[in-house]
Amino acid sequence: MRDNNSIGPWIRRFLLEHVATERNLARNTQLSYRDTLVLLLPFLSKALGKAVDRLSIDDLSPASVRSFLRYLEKERRCSGATRNLRLATIHSLAKFIGMHSPEHVAWCAAIRGVPFKKTASSTLTYLDKPEMEALLHTPDLHTALGMRDHALLLFLYNTGARADEAAHLSLEDIKWGTSPAVRLVGKGKMRWCPIWPRTADVLKPLIAGRACGEFVFLNRLNQPLTRFGIYAVVRRTVAQASQALPSLMAKTISPHCLRHTCAVHLLRSGVDINTIRAWLGHVSLDTTHIYAEVDLEMKAKALALCDLPKETRTRPWHTDAGLMSFLKAL
């Protein structure tokens, strides 16, 4: 008879069947779930004086979960956001067990009753157009690495691609022709994104002479650039550009910041919110609405500073015309 009370087999099913197969979560999300359990199981084993393979479902009680969360914050110095991320994994594990084992439904409800901690919402960082242009003009186009850095930054700005998506981009993902586009795969989802003429002009010489299956962005050793390498390129370029434009020093700029910049600039050009959602690959429109709220907040601040007449404080949103003017400006 199967022992439904031992937590080991449930964790195995949770990671290998539910997270990886049934939900098909992104690889980084799978690793995050695993990392939480790598921390949780030794903590329970030490606290209860039991071997890891002897732990039962009842050993994971609301009290032990709260102790684990305190351990994360006090001893490991984790932020509130990280604490909530770890708790979300535990909630997900409890839900999985409760759905497949009716006798553990009450236990599941108790575990999922451990609340998340309220944390301050993070500020969305993006670059204004002069700052973005300063970043794009920083790499030395007379060198091979400078050309690659320029192409990478422009690609991130054009597509709003995540660092992992750009790192895994291959030549076969790009469709040339009268309307160039790129296929991006991230978080288990695929989307097509248009390539601006300006971006196409810098990508073509970068990949000239390469085979179809090769990666687009390579490092000094002609190996695929990793997402950590992409972070390094952005940080290095920002450090150089900050010497000429000090406003960059006040912002925390990462590849994801360029994704935010792409969305805000598209919105300001008049592109509708649904198009931006598809452009960035968001599942929920609520995620994309963050950019609309940020843009409205910035406009309100600008109006307050300028003290414009009431009749000039609103203007109609443009759609296709705004998009075309934005693309031509690039």
Catalytic residue annotation: 162, 187, 256, 259, 282, 291
Least Cα distance to 154 among 228, 289, 258 occurs for 258
187/283 Cα distance (integer angstroms)? 10
318/269 Cα distance (integer angstroms)? 8
Residue 136 is encoded by which pair of tokens? 């794009």
Biggest CA–CA distance in the chain, Å, is: 78
What φ, ψ does residue 218 adopt, rounded to 5°?
-115, 155
Least Cα distance to 283 among 188, 194, 192 occurs for 188
9/21 Cα distance (integer angstroms)? 16
173/216 Cα distance (integer angstroms)? 9
